[in-house]
Each structure stands twice: as structure tokens, then as C-alpha cells.
Structure 1
Amino acid sequence: MRLARAHIWQVPRLAAILWAYTRGTPGQPCARSRAEDLHLLWRETWQGRVRVARVQGRIAGFILRRATRVHALHVAPDMRGQGVGRALLTDAQARAGALDLWVLEANRRARAFYARAGFAEAAQDRRGGGNDEGLPDIRMVWRRREIRV
């Protein structure tokens, strides 16, 4: 697996991975149009905020991060459970002293994933202020532990 900064020409693949979740999950409302998603991914990629994981030359997942906020972490459906998301998150943790994110309250799998990576639940928002869909969500935070010798 190779991690690197995403490039503009990779945006269609990033969108396909994003849409596999946003449009492929039953009951998951779509907050943005496909054009809005493409524009957002293009802008964030152009500004250097997206990193990708490549497996055998193919983009398997991506993370979008602005400073300490993780805005998106998505893995291609056929690559889930193979360490791609963990590698992207570990890379982000290595590049920051602290991270935070909002995760949908109903997404127990994601909440457990972040908890295993050392994130702790810090706040709840029943109105969904931390997501575009307006669904109840939970803010999770991670801080690097200082090792004292």
C-alpha cells in the first residue's frame, strides 16, 4: 500500500468511492448533487487536503483533512476490511498532534473504527450540525499522547 497526496486527475475515482457510500448505503440521504461533490473534491484536492491509498496501483481509499478536522474518510467497497482506512488514519495521526471529526450516530461501525484508533466521543449533536445530511452525529477527538521519560 502506498499513501500519497491526491492529484486532480484522480477526482473521478475519489467521487466513485464517495458515491459508493453516499449513494450506495440504504437510508443515507444525499446532501449534495454529483456536480457539487465533484466541485468539492476538485477544490480540496487542488488545495492539497486529500491523501489517497493506492493498492497495486489503484486508488483504494482517501482521506480529506483540513488542519485537525477529518472531513471524510472513505474506502472502496471491495477494499474495506483490508487496512486501507486504518493506514490513511494512521498517516493523518502521524502528521498532526490532534484530530477531530464528526461521525453519524447511526454509523456504529465507523464509531468503533475510530475508537480502536484512539478517538473518544466528545459531544453529540442531535440536530446533525456536524454533517451535511442533518442527521444526529457525534464529535470524536484524538490527541497524541506525550511520552515522558
Structure 2
Amino acid sequence: MRIRAATPKDARATGAILTEFVETTPWMPRLHSADEDRGFCATMIERGWVRVIEDGGVVGFIARNEAEVNALYVARTFRGRGAGAALLRDAQAARDELSLWTFQDNLGARRFYAAHGFHEVARTDGQQTDEKLPDVQLEWRRL
């Protein structure tokens, strides 16, 4: 697997990975179309926030604005195979601290981040999010 900066051509693949997550996650509401997901990814790529991981094509991506991780998604068939961990390690190597929000119901993500040194710093009832789902803020600091 290889990690690199995303290019505009990666918007289709990253958008498809995001769409796949929403469509295969029972508790996640579908608020945006696949085209909107692709556009959202294209915007993050244009801002220079996105790095992708490839294995015969794009299989995952992380979007980071400075220390804030805005997204980390891996294609379903590549989950549990180290792609997400590699992307997160890549982000951790670039910063002394990171923060992110994830949904409280995303237990797999919460376990994943805890295993990579993140700890909970805040919770909300989710009323400020588009999805209206309770969320949790996590932080990591280099020791």
C-alpha cells in the first residue's frame, strides 16, 4: 500500500468510499447524494487536506485541516487490513497533536482511535450536526 497526496482525479474514488460507508451503516442517515459526496471530497482535495492510500487503486483516504481530522474512510473490503492505521500514522507523523469528532454510535471507529492513542475530551447530543447524532470529540498528543 502506498500513501500520497490526493489529486482532483481522486474525487470519484474518495466520494465512492464515503457513499459506501453511509449506505452500509444502518444508523447513519443518508443526507447527501453520491454526487454530493463526490463534490464534498473534491472540495477537501482542492483545499489540500486529503491523502489517499492505494492498493491497485484508491482504497481509503484521510482529510486533515492542520490538526483537525475531518474524515477518515476505508473501502469496506479493505477495512481491518491496515489501511486506516497507515493513514492515521501518516497524519500523526506530520503533527504533534490531532483532534477529531466521531459519532458515539461508531463503536468501531472509537475502538480504532483509542488503539492509536486518542482519548475522549467532549460529547454532545448531536443537535449541532447535520445528522443529529450524538458525537464525541477525541484528541491525540505526541508523548
TM-score (norm 2): 0.94
Name the structure 1 match of 2:71: 72
1:77-135 CA-to-partner distances (Å, cap 9, x unmatched) read 11011000000000000001110001110111110100000000000001353x43120
Alignment of 1:33-48 (within 5 A): 33-48=33-48
CA distance in structure 1 between the aligned counterparts of 2:8 and 2:113, rounded to whole angstroms: 28
Name the CA distance, whole Å, in 1 between partners of 2:76 and 2:35: 22
Q: Distance in 2 between matches of 1:36 and 1:136?
A: 23
In structure 2, the residue matched to 1:118 is 117
Which residue of structure 2 lines up, in the alignment, with residue 97 of structure 1?
Answer: 96
Query: 1:3 aligns to what?
Result: 3
DSSP 3-state at the match of 2:9: helix
Using the alignment, how far apart are the partners of 1:112 and 1:128 within structure 2?
Answer: 24
The root-mean-square deviation of aligned C-alpha atoms, in Å, is 1.2
How does the TM-score come out when normalised to structure 1? 0.91
Structure 1 residue runs without a partner (length 5+)? none
**1:109 corresponds to which residue?**
108
- The structure with more radius of gyration: 1
Amino acid at match of 1:18: L
1:27 alignment partner, SS class = coil
For the residues of structure 1 that align with 2:35 and 2:28, how far apart are their CA atoms?
18
Question: How many Å separate the matches in 2 of 1:32 and 1:116?
Answer: 31
Where does structure 2 lack aligned partners over 5 or more consecutive residues?
none
Match of 1:138 in 2: 136
Corresponding residue for 2:87?
88
Write out per-residue CA displacement over residues 41-81 of structure 1, whole angstroms, 9 at most, x where no aligned residue.
111111211000011x3111000111111111000011011
Residue in 1 aligned with 2:31? 31
Alpha-carbon distance in structure 2 between the residues aligned to 1:68 and 1:18: 21
Q: Which runs of 4+ in 1 moved over 6 A?
A: none
The 8 Å contact of residues 22 and 30 in structure 1, kept in 2 or not, is answered as: yes
Residue type of the alignment partner of 2:72:
L
